[in-house]
Amino acid sequence: MRSNCNDYGCHDGHDVMNERMRFRVGEFYPESLIKAVEEVRWKSRWRISVYGRDERWVVKLWRVFIPVTIIEVRNKEVTIRSSEGWVVWEAYCARVERQEPLRQLIRDIRFAEWMKREFGEW
């Protein structure tokens, strides 16, 4: 299954950078969000961090001494609350898109192993 980033959330030409937006994604990869936050933190020098576990993930940007939530993910429902959130989400989408061929290969290998277990040599 391909990532739903471009269908639901990534900047596709219209001006969504200042809108608060909520949408659902087909697949959500927390490890990619963590790496995207690190990438944005490194490039932009923002004081930004990600917190989460299980089905709830939050990305916060520290403004002065106050943490502001810029992205929230609950059960594959994403809420982007600021233009900084869009920057992080675009980095996440780019990362997911780059990793999709590897994820597809892993799914194919797991399927082949399952077929071999269930039906023997084929």
Tell me if 4 is assigned to some domain.
no
Nearest 5°: CA angle at 2, between 19 and 4? 15
The pLDDT-based confidence of 120 (bands split at 50, 70, 90) is confident
Smallest Cα–Cα separation from 57: which of 44, 43, 45, 71? 71
Answer yes or no: are the C-beta atoms of 78 and 25 closer than 8 Å. yes
CA distance 105 to 38: 26
User: Which pTM does this prediction carry?
Assistant: 0.73
Residue 117 has pLDDT above 80, yes or no: yes
Q: What is the CATH number of the domain that holds 49?
A: 3.30.160
Residue 95 has pLDDT above 70, yes or no: yes
Tell me if 6 is assigned to some domain.
no
CA distance 39 to 18: 21
Give the domain extent around 30. Answer: 17-119
- CA quadruple 53, 60, 22, 88: dihedral positive or negative? negative
Average pLDDT over the chain, rounded to whole?
84
Tell me if 26 is assigned to some domain.
yes
Phi/psi at 13 (5° precision): 115, -35
Q: Which of 6-20, 79-93, 94-108 has the lowest mean pLDDT?
A: 6-20
